[in-house]
C-alpha cells in the first residue's frame, strides 16, 4: 500500500458545460468502488477570462478496514496532473501554459471546439488562434492525448458535453474506474439518464479510436448551382461555395449571383489574389446591420443550442433576453438616404453619433419579443432601399476598382489592397473606426500610388504595416505614426 499513489484529475470547463456534474460523476463512481477521493472547485472570473476548474484526487484502490485515510491536496501542482480534461481548446492551452500538462505524465482529453477569447473577438481583423497549430501544441504537450470535437459528439448523441468527456476519461484506464461504474453513477443520479449514458458511450468510443462519422447538417440553405457551373479555378471553389450560401441567406439568390458577377474581372488573375478578393468580397457584401443581427438571434438552431447549453429538459422554461442599444448611426442605416442624411447631420451637430442610443431589452423567448426580431429579420426586402446599402455598394465598387487597378501594376500590392477590407467590420463605433482607418490608408497612400502609375518595391510591405497598425490600434494612433514615417507616395513613385 505504501507504493500506491493518488490519481490526480484536473477538469477545466466553461460555464453551462456541466463541469461540476462531471466532477460529481467521477466522485460518485469512486465511492461506489470504495476508493478514497476528494474534490474541490475554483470558479472562473468570467466566461472567457478563466474556466471554472475542478480538481480531484483519489486512490485507485479500496483501503483495508481501519487503515489511515490519505491526505489529499486541495489544488493541483504543475507537472503532477495525471488526467486533464478541457472542454475547450484554448482552456487546454491555458492549462499547458500553466504547466499542468506534462509530456511525461498527463493524459490530455480536450475538445477541439472553440469559444473565442475576447482578444480574438475584439481584433479588427481575423484574430482567431490557428486551430491546427493549437492541436499540434496540445498533442506534443501531453504524454497521451485524445483531441476531438466534443460538442459535435454531444450534439450527435443528444447529450451535454460533460457526458462525452466522462466517456473519454473512462477510456484512459488510468483511474481504476470502468465504464460500467460511470453508467451506475449516472443512473444513480437519475437526471437525463438516457442522454447522459449515450454521451458517455460516444466519448468512450471516440477515445478508443472509434470516432463516429459526422453527418452533414440537413438545414443547409438551398441555392442555385451557379457556383458548381462556374468556371472559376479549383482553388477558390470552397470559398465560393461558402460565400454563395452566406449571401443567399443574407439577402437572396440574385444577390449571390451578383457576387459572382463582381468576381468575373478577377477570374483569370493570380490565384491568390482571386481567393483573397472572393473571401473579402463575400464579407463586405454581407455587412452587419440590425436586420442581420435579428436573423441570427431568432434562428431555431440558436435557441436549441442555448437550451442544450443550459441543460434544460423538455418542458423546462428558458428565458433569453437580448440587449440592444441602437444609436443614430444604426437607425440611419435602415432609413432612405434623404432621411438618413438629415438624422446623421443632426447627430453630428449635437454630438449624438457616439453618445446617444435607446437601451432595449427584448425577451426572444416570449411571443412579443420574438415577433419584434422576426419583423426586423423580414426586412431583407428593404435593404436595397436603405441608406447603408447605397453606401456599402458604392464603397465595394470603389474597393474592387482599386484592387483591379493595382493588379495591373503589382500583384502582391493588389493582394494587400484587397486585404485592406479586413479593417471594415461590424457596425456602430466598430465600423466607423475601421472605415476611418481604411479611408486614410486608401486616400493618403494607395490612391496616390495608383494615380502615379508605379508601385515602388517597398510599397507592399509598407501597406501591410499600415494595415497591421490599424488592426492593433483601431483608434488610429499607431497608424498616424506609421503614415508620418513614410515618405509621400507621390515622391516615392517619382523616384
pLDDT digits (tens, 9 = 90+) for 202-236: 999 999 887 554 444 333 334 344 433 367 888 89
**Domain extent at residue 467:** 409-495
Q: Are residues 184 and 65 in the same domain?
A: yes
pLDDT tens figures, 295-343 = 889 988 888 888 877 778 888 888 999 988 888 888 888 899 899 899 9
Chain-wide mean pLDDT for the chain?
Answer: 85
User: What does the block give as the cell for 7?
Assistant: 490519481
Whether the pLDDT of residue 127 is over 70: the answer is no
How many other C-beta atoms are found inside a 10 Å radius of the C-beta of residue 251? Answer: 21
pTM of the model: 0.60
User: Rounded to whole angstroms, what are the CA distances from 419 to 391, 413, 436?
Assistant: 20, 10, 16
Q: Same domain for 346 and 449?
A: no
Kindly state whether residues 189 and 228 are assigned to the same domain.
Answer: no
pLDDT of 441 strictly over 70: yes
Bridge partners, 11 (sequence order): 54, 85
Position 51 pLDDT exceeds 80: no
Regarding whether 178 and 72 lie in a shared domain, the answer is yes
Same domain, 243 and 343: no
* Secondary structure (3-state) at 480: helix
Q: Report residue 119's pLDDT band, with 50, 70 and 90 as the boundaries.
A: low
Same domain, 21 and 169: yes
pLDDT of residue 486: 74
Q: What is the CATH number of the domain that holds 13?
A: 3.40.920.10
> Greater confidence, 135 or 6?
6
Strands, DSSP E only, in 59-143?
Answer: 83-86, 107-111
Cα(334)–Cα(478) distance, integer angstroms = 33
Residue 402: partners with Cβ closer than 8 Å, 6 or more residues away: 417, 442, 446, 447, 450
Question: Whole-angstrom Cα distance, residue 423 to residue 124?
Answer: 6
Same domain, 342 and 265: no
Rounded mean pLDDT, 99-111: 93
| Together in a domain, 254 and 374 | no
Q: Are residues 124 and 30 in the same domain?
A: yes
Q: Which pLDDT belongs to residue 26? A: 95
- Strands in 37-42's sheet, in edge-to-edge order, are 37-42, 52-58, 7-13, 83-86, 107-111, 144-148
Q: How far apart are CA 482 and CA 462, in angstroms?
A: 9
The C-alpha atoms of residue 477 and residue 237 are separated, in whole angstroms, by 39
| Residue at grid coordinates 489529499 | 72
Least confident of 18-32, 243-257, 272-286, 417-431: 417-431
| Residue in the block written with cell 471546439 | 113
H helices of 251-336, where?
253-263, 271-285, 290-297, 300-310, 328-334
What is the domain count for the chain? 4
Beta strand 107-111 with 144-148: parallel, antiparallel or unpaired?
parallel
List Cα–Cα distances, 199 to 18, 113, 132, 270, in angstroms.
Answer: 13, 16, 25, 47
Q: 335: which residues sit within 8 A by CB, 6+ positions away?
A: 343, 386, 387
Q: Do 279 and 372 belong to one domain?
A: no
Is the C-alpha dihedral spanning 160, 165, 170, 171 positive or negative?
positive
pLDDT in tens, 158-180: 888 899 999 999 999 888 899 99
Listed range (197-206, 314-323, 353-362, 456-465) with the worst mean pLDDT? 353-362
Q: What pLDDT does 464 receive? A: 92
Q: Which residues contact residue 325 at a Cβ distance below 8 angstroms, ignoring those fewer than 6 apart?
A: 357, 358, 359, 360
N-to-C CA span, the chain: 83
Same domain, 222 and 200: no
- 330 in the same domain as 249: no
pLDDT over threshold 50, residue 437:
yes
Q: What is the pLDDT of residue 225?
A: 40
What pLDDT sits at residue 222? Answer: 41
* Least confident piece of the model among 1-5, 25-29, 463-467: 1-5
Phi, psi of 10 (to 5 degrees): -120, 125
Kindly state the average pLDDT of the residues 237-265: 91
DSSP-derived 3-state class of residue 386 = coil
Give the confidence band of 490 by pLDDT, cuts at 50, 70, 90: very low
Residues 236 and 70: their CA atoms lie apart, in Å, by 61
In a domain, 274, yes or no: yes
- 3-state class (DSSP) for residue 380: helix
User: How confident is the model at residue 374, as a pLDDT?
Assistant: 92
% of the chain with per-residue pLDDT over 90? 45
- Residue that finishes a domain, picked among 286, 312, 338: 286
Which tens digits make up the pLDDT trace of 134-154?
888 888 889 999 999 988 888
- Under a CB-based contact definition with an 8 Å cutoff, are residues 115 and 13 in contact? no
Amino acid at each position: 500500500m505504501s507504493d500506491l499513489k493518488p490519481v490526480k484529475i484536473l477538469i477545466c470547463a466553461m460555464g453551462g458545460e456541466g463541469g461540476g456534474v462531471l466532477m460529481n460523476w467521477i466522485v460518485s463512481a469512486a465511492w461506489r468502488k470504495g476508493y478514497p477521493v476528494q474534490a474541490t472547485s475554483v470558479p472562473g472570473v468570467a466566461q472567457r477570462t478563466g474556466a471554472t476548474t475542478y480538481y480531484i484526487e483519489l486512490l485507485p484502490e479500496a483501503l483495508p478496514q481501519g487503515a489511515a485515510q490519505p491526505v489529499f491536496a486541495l489544488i493541483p501542482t504543475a507537472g503532477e496532473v495525471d488526467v486533464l480534461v478541457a472542454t475547450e481548446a484554448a482552456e487546454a492551452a491555458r492549462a499547458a501554459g500553466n504547466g499542468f500538462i506534462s509530456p511525461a505524465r498527463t493524459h490530455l482529453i480536450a475538445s477541439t471546439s472553440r469559444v473565442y477569447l475576447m482578444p480574438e473577438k475584439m481584433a479588427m481583423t481575423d484574430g482567431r488562434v490557428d486551430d491546427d497549430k493549437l492541436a499540434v501544441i496540445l498533442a506534443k504537450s501531453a504524454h497521451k492525448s485524445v483531441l476531438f470535437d466534443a460538442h459535435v459528439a454531444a450534439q450527435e448523441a443528444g447529450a451535454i458535453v460533460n457526458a462525452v468527456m466522462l466517456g473519454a476519461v473512462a477510456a484512459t484506464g488510468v483511474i481504476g474506474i470502468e465504464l460500467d461504474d460511470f453508467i451506475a453513477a449516472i443512473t444513480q443520479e437519475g437526471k437525463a439518464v438516457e442522454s447522459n449514458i449515450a454521451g458517455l458511450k460516444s466519448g468512450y468510443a471516440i477515445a478508443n479510436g472509434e470516432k463516429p462519422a459526422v453527418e452533414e447538417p440537413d438545414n443547409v440553405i438551398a441555392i442555385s448551382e451557379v457556383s458548381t457551373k462556374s468556371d472559376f479555378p479549383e482553388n477558390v471553389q470552397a470559398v465560393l461555395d461558402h460565400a454563395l450560401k452566406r449571401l443567399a441567406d443574407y439577402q437572396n439568390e440574385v444577390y449571390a449571383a451578383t457576387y459572382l458577377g463582381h468576381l468575373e474581372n478577377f477570374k483569370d488573375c493570380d490565384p491568390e489574389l482571386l481567393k483573397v478578393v472572393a473571401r473579402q468580397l463575400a464579407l463586405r457584401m454581407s455587412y452587419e446591420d440590425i436586420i442581420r443581427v435579428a436573423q441570427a438571434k431568432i434562428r431555431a438552431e440558436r435557441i436549441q443550442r442555448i437550451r442544450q447549453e443550459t441543460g434544460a429538459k423538455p418542458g423546462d422554461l428558458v428565458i433569453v433576453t437580448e440587449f440592444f442599444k441602437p444609436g443614430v448611426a444604426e437607425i440611419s442605416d435602415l432609413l432612405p438616404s434623404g432621411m438618413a442624411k438629415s438624422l446623421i447631420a443632426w447627430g453630428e451637430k449635437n454630438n449624438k453619433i457616439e453618445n446617444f442610443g435607446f437601451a432595449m431589452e427584448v425577451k426572444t423567448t416570449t411571443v412579443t419579443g420574438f415577433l419584434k426580431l422576426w419583423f426586423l429579420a423580414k426586412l431583407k426586402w428593404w435593404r436595397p432601399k436603405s441608406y447603408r446599402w447605397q453606401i456599402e455598394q458604392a464603397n465595394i465598387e470603389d474597393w474592387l476598382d482599386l484592387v483591379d487597378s493595382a493588379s495591373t501594376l503589382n500583384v502582391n500590392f493588389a493582394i494587400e489592397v484587397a486585404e485592406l477590407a479586413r479593417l471594415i467590420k461590424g457596425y456602430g463605433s466598430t465600423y466607423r473606426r475601421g472605415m476611418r482607418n481604411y479611408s486614410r490608408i486608401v486616400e493618403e497612400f494607395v490612391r496616390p500610388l495608383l494615380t502615379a502609375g508605379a508601385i515602388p518595391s517597398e510599397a507592399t510591405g509598407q501597406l501591410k504595416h499600415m494595415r497591421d497598425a490599424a488592426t492593433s490600434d483601431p483608434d488610429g494612433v499607431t497608424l498616424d505614426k506609421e503614415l508620418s514615417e513614410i515618405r509621400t507616395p507621390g515622391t516615392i513613385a517619382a523616384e
